[in-house]
Structure 1
Amino acid sequence: MFSIAADVRNTLGECPLWCERTRRLYWTDIEASELLAIEEGIDVVMRWSLSERLGSFALTEQDHILLMGFATRLAFYDLNSGLIIPVAASPGDTGTRIGDGRCDRAGNFVFGTMDDDYPVKVIGKFHRLNAATLTVETLALPDVAIPNSICFSPDGSTLYYCDSMQGRIMCCDYLSLQNQRVFTKIEGDGAPDGSCIDAQGYLWNAEWGGSRVVRYSPGGEIHSILSAPALQTTCPVLGGSSLHTLSVQSLFTQ
Structure 2
Amino acid sequence: MAPDDAIEDVPTSVLSAERCHLGEGPTYDAAIGTAWWFDILGRKLFEAHIATGSVKIHGLPWMASALARIDAARQLIVTEDGLYIRYLADGRMAPFLPVEADNAATRSNDARVHPSGTLWFSTMGRKADPRAGAIYALHRGQLSRLYPDITIPNAICFSPDGAIGYFADTATNVMHRVPLDPATGLPVGDAVPFIRRQGIGGIDGAVVDRDGLIWNARWGGGCVDLYDPSGRRLRSLRVPARQSSCPAFVGSDLSRLLVTTAWEGMDERARAADPGHGQTYILDVAARGHAEVDVRLGP
Shorter-chain TM-score tier: over 0.9
Matches within 5 A, 1:111-126: 111-116=121-126, 118-126=127-135
Q: Give the one of 78, 89, 96 matched to 2:98.
A: 89
Give the TM-score normalised by the residue count of structure 2.
0.80
Q: Please tell me the residue identity of whatever aligns with 2:113.
A: C
Q: Given the alignment of the two structures, is residue 248 of structure 1 paired with residue 242 of structure 2, yes or no?
A: no
Q: Please tell me the residue identity of whatever aligns with 2:169.
A: D
Give the Cα separation in 1 of the matches to 2:34 and 2:81. 26
Give the Cα separation in 1 of the matches to 2:128 and 2:64. 20
Q: Given the alignment of the two structures, is residue 191 of structure 1 paired with residue 202 of structure 2, yes or no?
A: yes
Q: Give the one of 157, 160, 163 matched to 2:169.
A: 163
State the secondary structure of the residue aligned to 1:143: strand
State the secondary structure of the residue aligned to 2:20: coil
Deviation at 1:35, TM superposition (A): 0.7
- Could you tell me which runs of 5 or more consecutive residues in structure 2 were left unpaired when the two chains were aligned: 1-9, 182-186, 264-270, 273-299
Q: Given the alignment of the two structures, is residue 102 of structure 1 paired with residue 112 of structure 2, yes or no?
A: yes
Q: Verify the 8 A CA contact 1:148 1:163 in the aligned structure 2.
A: yes
Q: Verify the 8 A CA contact 1:71 1:98 in the aligned structure 2.
A: yes
Q: Verify the 8 A CA contact 2:25 2:38 in the aligned structure 1.
A: yes
Deviation at 1:177, TM superposition (A): 4.2
Deviation at 1:142, TM superposition (A): 4.9
What's the Cα RMSD here? Answer: 1.5
State the secondary structure of the residue aligned to 1:32: coil
Query: 2:232 aligns to what?
Result: 221
Aligned residues: 249
1:57-89 superposed Cα distances (whole Å, 9 cap, x missing partner): 111122x42100011110101132222121111
Q: Please tell me the residue identity of whatever aligns with 1:65.
A: R
- Could you tell me which runs of 5 or more consecutive residues in structure 1 were left unpaired when the two chains were aligned: none
Q: Please tell me the residue identity of whatever aligns with 2:119.
A: F
Q: Give the one of 187, 192, 207 matched to 2:218.
A: 207
Q: Verify the 8 A CA contact 1:91 1:136 in the aligned structure 2.
A: no
1:105-138 superposed Cα distances (whole Å, 9 cap, x missing partner): 121111111112x2522121111112x3x22111
Give the Cα separation in 2 of the matches to 1:90 and 1:191. 27
Q: Give the one of 216, 225, 230 matched to 2:241.
A: 230
Query: 1:15 aligns to what?
Result: 25
Deviation at 1:91, TM superposition (A): 3.9
Give the Cα separation in 2 of the matches to 1:83 and 1:240. 27
Query: 2:14 aligns to what?
Result: 4
Give the Cα separation in 2 of the matches to 1:30 and 1:125. 17
Q: Given the alignment of the two structures, is residue 73 of structure 1 paired with residue 82 of structure 2, yes or no?
A: yes
Give the Cα separation in 2 of the matches to 1:38 and 1:56. 15
Q: Give the one of 30, 33, 52 matched to 1:42.
A: 52
Q: Given the alignment of the two structures, is residue 138 of structure 1 paired with residue 148 of structure 2, yes or no?
A: no
Deviation at 1:250, TM superposition (A): 0.2
Q: Verify the 8 A CA contact 1:92 1:113 in the aligned structure 2.
A: no
% identical aligned pairs: 29
State the secondary structure of the residue aligned to 1:241: coil
Give the Cα separation in 1 of the matches to 2:198 and 2:227. 12
Give the Cα separation in 2 of the matches to 1:20 and 1:41. 11
Give the Cα separation in 1 of the matches to 2:188 and 2:251. 33
Give the Cα separation in 2 of the matches to 1:93 and 1:219. 40
- Where relative contact order (Cα < 8 A, 6+ residues apart) is larger, the structure is 2
Give the Cα separation in 2 of the matches to 1:36 and 1:30. 11
